[in-house]
Chains A and B, each alone.
Chain A
Amino acid sequence: MRRTHIVLLAALCLLLASQVFAQEFAPVTGPCDFEFPRDHGPHPGHKTEWWYYTGALKGPSGERYGFQFTIFRSRIKPGEPEHATGWRTNQILLGHAAITDVSRRRHRQHEAVSRAALDLAGWSTPGTPGTAPTAAGTDETGNPAGKDGQVVRIFLRDWSLAIASDAHRLEARGPDFSYDLALAPRKGPIAHGERGYSQKGVKPESASCYYSIPRMEVSGSIQLDGKTIPVTGEAWMDQEYSSAPLEPGISGWDWFSLRLSDGSDLMVFFLRVEKGGFGPATGGTLIAPDGRTTRISASQLTLASTGSWTSPRSKARYPAGWKLTAPGIALTLAPEIPDQEMNTPLSTGVNYWEGLVRAVGAVDGKPVTGEGYVELTGYNKAFTARY
C-alpha cells in the first residue's frame, strides 16, 4: 500500500512537472548540434529567434551600399492557445530592413510586424504540405529550391525569406526602397560557442543557439527613389534563438561581424555592463579561410572607441570608430556613414545602431582590409525589447 502511494505520488509529480515544463519556453542549456536544412527553419518553442542578414553591395557604377534584412520571431507565451479563429496565435514576426547609401551618405529603414497567422506572416519548413518544388532550381513561388528541394520559407506581409541548402533569397518592400537579393553561401554554416551553444551570461541557460554563414555571394537589385539598381556584393547571415533575457546588469551589446581580405572572418560580441566594462560571457569566433574556427574569450579581446556620434532622434550617443584586438588581430574600424541608427517604434520599440563599417589592420602581422557590420544596442536606454 505504502509503495503504491509512493508510485502514485511520483507519477503525479512527473505529470505536474511535465505540465510545468510544457508551459515554459524551451531553454538552451547545452550544445545545439545543428542539422540543416531543419535548423534553418524556426524553433517555435523558444521565445526569441532571428534571421539576420547584413552585407555590402556595389552598383554598376561602383556606388556602394550596405544592407540589413532581419526577421525576428517572438513567442508571446509558452503553450498553444485554444483557438477558433485563424487569428489566434502565440507567435509574432517582426522585420527590420535598411539600406545605407554610402555615396549619398543616407540611411533608410523600414519595419514590419504581424502576428504569425492567416496569410499575414508565417513560415513553412521542409516537409510542410504544399511546398514541393516544381521546377529545377526554383519552386512554384520562384524561390530557390536547392539541390535537395528543401526550402524554408518565412514571410512577413510582403517581405519574404527563402532558405535552401545552397541559396537564400530576401525580399523586402517599403514606401521608399525595396530589394530582392539572391545569396549563395560560400562558407559555413559555422556554429559558434560549443557546437552552437553560445553563452551570454553567467547562468548556463543564459545562452542561445547561434550559427553564422559568414560569406555569401550576393546578386540582385535594389529599388531606390523609383530606380532599380542591379547590385552584387557579399553578405553575412546569422541565425540565433534563445529563451533567456539578458542577465541583470547587462545594458546592451556591441557586436561585430567582419570579412577580411585574407579570407578570414571574425565575429565578436561585447556584453556591456551597466557599471562599465564588459561581462565575462563576452567572446567571439575567428573563422579561418578554410572554415576552421577558433573560439575567442573575453580575456583575449580589447575594444576601444575612437569617436562618437549622437543621434538627433533618440539622443543616444554611439561610439563611431573602434580599435579592436583579438589574438593575432588588430583592426581599426570606422563606420561608412555615422547615421545608421534603426528607430523601430512600430515593431521592437528599440533604437539601435546597425551599420556598414570598413576595417584596416593586420592579421598575424599581415596587413588586411575588410568590411562588415557593427550592431550597438542599449545606448539610449538599457536594452529591453517590446516582445
Chain B
Amino acid sequence: MRPFLNFARIACWFVLRQWRLRLWRSLAVIVGVGLGASVFLSVRLAVNASVEAFSQGMDAFTGTASLAVAAPGFRVDDSLVGRLLRLPGVTQASPVISAYVKDDSGNPVRLIGVDPLLDRAFRGFSIAGSTGEAGQGVNWMDLMAVPGTVLLGKPLAQRLGVEPGGHFTLHHGGREASFTVLAVLAPEGLAGVEAGNLAVADISTAQEFLGLVGKVDRIDVKLAPGVSADSVQGILGPGVHAAPPGEARESGLAMIQAYQLNLTVLSFVSLFVGMFLVYSLVSLDAASRRKELAVLRSLGAGPGTVSALFLFQGGMLGALGWLAGMPVAAVFTGWMLQGVSSTVNNLFVRVAVQGASLDPREIGLSLGVTVAVSLLASIGPAVRAMRVSPREAMSIHRQEESHSASAGRFWALTGFALAASSWPVSTLPSPTGFPLPGYLAIFLLFTGLALLSPFALRLTIALAAPLARLGGVPAELASAQAGRGGNRAAVSVGALATAMALFLALSTMIHSFRASFVTWLDQTVTGDLFVRPANAELNGYRDTLPPELTEWLAARGDVEVVPYLRRYLTLGNTAYQFEATDMPGLLEYSRFSVLERLPDAEALLLSGQGVAIAEALANQAGLKAGDRFQVQVGAAEVDAVVAMVVRSYRTRGGEAYYDLTAFTALGGESGAGGLRVYFKDRSGDLTAKAETLRAQMLAEPWGPGVEGVPGTGLHTLVTGIFDETFAITGVLLVIALGVAALGVCVTLTVRVLERMRQINTLLAVGASRGQITAMVLWEAVYLGLAGEIVGVIGGLALSVIIIYVINRQSFGWTFVYLLDWRALALSLPLILAAVLAAGPPACRAALSRTPALILRER
C-alpha cells in the first residue's frame, strides 16, 4: 500500500505541475475528450431509454405467461379459451385483445381488453389510491358487468382531462363510443404498457367496440411444470401457434439493438478522435521533459515507473475529460431522446419513452471506455519515455527524440497493411443483425489511417511543392517545418483524416441510400391515393376495409383500384410482411427494382406460383431466386417459388408479394387491408384530384374509419421520416469534426511553442508579424491537406464497407453506390476552414512575447 501511495503522490505532482504550466492545452484536451465521452454516453442512454421502454412495455403486456397462442397476422377464436382451460397441463389461460384506437383529437390510444378474472394470474392491476381490491366506492368488477367502462392509465387520464366517473369518446373503424372511467390504474402491472397511455376494458367491451365478436388477439397460457408446448399445439388449428411470449419481445429488441450498435460505433468515433488529442499532449510532455525524466532515472526511478507516470497522465486526462463531459451528456441525452425514440418508432417498433434513466452500468461503461482509450493513446509516449537514459541528465544540450527512417517506414507499412485488411475482414461471416467483422474492419481502417498519417503528411508536402512556391517564403518555411513535425504533427493529420473519412463515408451512404430510397418510392410505392383503415400501421394491418368502399370506388369508373392484404409474420426468426395483392395491377402500375430473377418471373407471379421478396427478407432468411417459399398465412398454405428478389426499404421487415386471387383460392382472406388507387386519366393535377377523391371518400358513412393519403403526400411524409432519421448522424459527425479541429488547434499551438526560439529569431532578423502568421497558417493548411487526402481515401473505403457490409448485415438491404460529390467538394473547404480556425490561437502564442525575452541567453 505504501509504495502505491508514494507513487500516487509523485504522479499527482508530476502531472499537475505540468498541467499548471500548460493549462490551456490541457484544458483543450480535457474538453475534446469530454465531448467524445458525452456523445458516447448520451447516445447509449438515449437508445437504452427506447430499449427499456420497449422491454418494460412488452413485459407488462406479456406478464407471466409460459406461452402465447396466436395466429400471426390474424386473430384467434375465443372459443379456444375454454378448450385450453380444460387441457391437462394448462393451469391458467387468459384472452387478450389489443388495438390502437383514436380519441377525439385523433391521437392514438391503446385499448386492451382482458377478462379481469382470468387475467389476474398473468398481469394484474390495481386501482390508484385504493386499499386492497376495491377502491373507495369503486368496484372494479363493474368492468365486467357494465358495458363501456374502462380503467385508464394515469397519463392518459391526464391527457384526456377525465377523472373516475367521467366520460370520453373513442373512435375505431368508423364507429365511435362513449366510455365511462371506472378508475385510474395504479402504476404497476398493466399500467406499464404504453407508458400508461392505455385504457383497460373487459374483453366483452373491447369485442363490442372493436367489432371483434368471437375473436381475440391472443390467449396467454400457463403450463404446469414439466408440460411442453406440444400438448397445447395439438388442439390448435392451422395457422394458430403456441410460442413463448418472449419471441415478439426478442425480435423487437434485436431490431433496436442493431440500431443501438450502429449509433454506438458512430459515437465512439468522437472518442477515437479525442484519443489523438491525448496522444498529442502526452507525447509533447514526454518529449519536453526528457531531462527531468533522465534526472528521475538517475535518482533510481525505474523505466516502469517513468512509463507509469505518463500512463497515469493519460488516464487522468481521460477521467477528467469524462467528468467534464457529464454535464454536456445530460444536455445531449435530453436532445437525442426525442430523435432516437422517433426513429425507433418510425423504423422498428412502437415505444413510449418517458425519459432516460441514469444506468450505472452505462455510466461505468462510458468511464471505462474513455479512460481505456486515453490509456491506449498514452502507451506510445510512455514507452518512449521509459527509454530515456539517465545519462541525459548529465548532458548540456537538450536531447531530441530520434525518429528513425526505418521505424517510420515500418509504421507506414503496418498502417497500409491494416487499412488494406479491412475489406477482407469485413466480408467474414457474422451473426444476423450484428456486423461485428464490419465494425472490426472499420477499426482496422481507422488505425491504419492513423499509422499512415506521418507518411501521408510527408507525401502531401512533397506533392504540394508548387503550392509552397505560390505561397512564397512563409509557405516554404511552413512546408519544411511540417515535414519535420514528426509524430505530433501527424497526430493532427490522423484526427482530421478520421473525422473527414467519417464525414465523407456517411454523406455518401446517406446520399446513396436516399437516391435508392427515392427511386424505390417513385417506382414501386406508386399510387395516386393510398387508402387503408384508420390506425392500420399501428394495428398491424389486421383490419380490413369495408367492402362498400371498394365497390364505391369501382363504381366511379375513373379509377383503377389495386387492393392488398398485409400481414406481419415471421419466417423462422425473421420478421417480414406478407402482402397478397392484385398482382396484375401491381405489375402494371409499379416497377420493381430487381436484384435477381427467374426467366419467367412475371408469369410465375401472375399465376400464383411465384412470390417476389424484398432484398432484406432474402438476406435475413437466406433466400434467393429459385428457392421455395412455404408459409402458413392464416388458413392458406402458400407454397411458391421465389421468382424475384427486389429492392425495398420498408421498415419492420422486408415484404413478400403474392397474388391475391391465388391467395384467396388457397383459403386466405378475401378482404382488402388497403388499396392503391390510380386515376385512369393521367392528365391534370393528380394530387388535386387525389385530394378531392379523398374528401369525397371521407364524407361517406365509412369515412371516419379509413385513412387516405395522396401519393405525393405519402412520398413527402416518408422522405421526411427518412431525413429525420439521419439527423442524429449529422450531429454526431459535426461533433467529431469539432473534436478534430480542436486537435489541430492544440497541435499547432504546441508546434509553435516548441519553435518559439526559431520563430523569434525570424522576427529578430526582420520577419514581420504577418509573415509569421502566414507561416503558421500555411502549416495548418498542409496539415489540412494531408488530412483531406487520407480522409478522402479512407472515406471512400469506409463508404464501401458501410454500404455493402454494415447496412446489409444490420438491416438486410443495400443501395446503389452514389458518391456524394457535393460532400466531397465541401470536404476540402470544410477541412481548411477547420484548420484555419485553429490557427489564430497558435498565431497569438507565436507573437505573445518579444524576441528579446525569448532569445536572451540563460
Contacts and interface: CB of A to CB of B under 8 A. Distances in A.
A76 B145 contact: yes
B213 A158 contact: no
Contacts of B141: 76, 387
A118 B86 contact: no
Interface residues of B, number: 31
A343 interface: no
Contacts of A88: 147, 204, 208
Contact of A85 (B83, B139, B204): B204
A87 B207 contact: yes
B139 to A, nearest CB: 8
Contact of B82 (A90, A118, A174, A349): A118
A175 B213 contact: no
A77 interface: yes
A173 interface: yes
Nearest to B88: A173
Nearest to B216: A87
Nearest to B213: A85
Contacts of B208: 84-85, 88
A86 interface: yes
Interface stretch (B114-122, B166-174, B303-311, B698-706): B114-122
A369 interface: no
Contacts of A386: 133
Given A85-B214, A89-B144, A173-B88, A114 B118 contact: yes
A87 B201 CA distance: 12
Contacts of B86: 157-158
B10 interface: no
B81 interface: yes
Given A118-B78, A387-B141, A157 B85 contact: yes
A92 B143 CA distance: 13
A162 to B, nearest CB: 16
Nearest to B203: A87
Chain B CB within 10 Å, residue with most, of A76, A87, A113, A157: A87
B142 A77 contact: yes
B473 interface: no
B147 A81 contact: yes
A119 B77 CA distance: 13
A89 B78 CA distance: 15
B82 A115 contact: no
A89 B144 CA distance: 7
A115 B144 contact: yes
Interface in A154-170: 157-158
Nearest to A173: B88
Contacts of A77: 142, 145-146
Interface in A55-92: 76-77, 81-90, 92
B79 interface: yes
A114 B91 CA distance: 13
A181 B296 CA distance: 95
Contacts of A89: 144
Contacts of A120: 81-82, 85, 118
A346 interface: yes
B228 to A, nearest CB: 15
Nearest to A110: B91
Contact of A87 (B83, B139, B202, B224): B202
B117 A92 contact: yes
A81 B142 CA distance: 11
A76 B144 contact: yes
A257 B380 CA distance: 90
A90 B145 contact: yes
B204 A118 contact: no
A92 B204 CA distance: 15
A239 B207 CA distance: 36
A106 B157 CA distance: 49
B133 A84 contact: no
Interface in A107-137: 113-115, 118-120
Contact of A114 (B117, B204, B207, B214): B117
A323 to B, nearest CB: 36
Contacts of A90: 144-145
Contacts of A92: 117, 144
B82 A81 contact: no
Contacts of A85: 203-204, 207-208, 213-214
B713 to A, nearest CB: 37
Contacts of B115: 87, 115
Interface string B173-215: 0000000000000000000000000000011100110000110
Contacts of B82: 118-120, 157
A83 B117 contact: no
A86 B225 CA distance: 32
A115 B117 contact: yes
Contacts of B214: 85-86
A118 B79 contact: yes
Given A115-B144, A118-B78, A118-B79, A83 B85 contact: no
B99 to A, nearest CB: 15
B224 A175 contact: yes
Contacts of A346: 120-121
Interface in B57-109: 78-79, 81-83, 85-86, 88, 91
Nearest to B86: A158
Contacts of B224: 175
B212 to A, nearest CB: 9
A158 B86 CA distance: 5
A115 B116 CA distance: 9
A336 to B, nearest CB: 28
A86 B145 contact: no
Nearest to A92: B117
A380 to B, nearest CB: 13
Contacts of A175: 91, 224-225
A347 to B, nearest CB: 8
Nearest to A122: B82
A86 B82 CA distance: 12
Contacts of B121: 346
B146 A119 contact: no
B204 A83 contact: yes
Contacts of A81: 145-147
A86 B212 CA distance: 11
A202 B812 CA distance: 77
A81 B141 CA distance: 13
B151 to A, nearest CB: 16
Contacts of B147: 81-83, 88
Contacts of B85: 114, 120, 157-158
Interface string B513-530: 000000000000000000
Contacts of A114: 85, 117-118
A121 B139 CA distance: 22
A114 B145 CA distance: 14
A158 B118 CA distance: 14
Nearest to A82: B147
A157 B87 CA distance: 10
Nearest to B95: A87
Contacts of B213: 84-86
A25 to B, nearest CB: 13
Chain B CB within 10 Å, residue with most, of A82, A84, A85, A386: A85
Contacts of B91: 174-175
A88 B91 CA distance: 23
Given A114-B118, A175-B224, A86 B78 contact: yes
Interface string A276-292: 00000000000000000
8 contacts: A77-B145, A85-B203, A85-B204, A92-B117, A92-B144, A113-B117, A113-B120, A175-B225
User: Can you list the 3 inter-chain pairs with the closest CB atoms, starting with the nearest?
Assistant: A119-B82, A87-B204, A158-B86
Given A81-B147, A118-B79, 12 more contacts: A77-B145, A84-B204, A84-B213, A86-B78, A87-B203, A113-B118, A114-B85, A119-B82, A120-B118, A174-B91, A349-B133, A386-B133
Interface of B: 78-79, 81-83, 85-86, 88, 91, 115, 117-118, 120-121, 133, 139, 141-142, 144-147, 202-204, 207-208, 213-214, 224-225
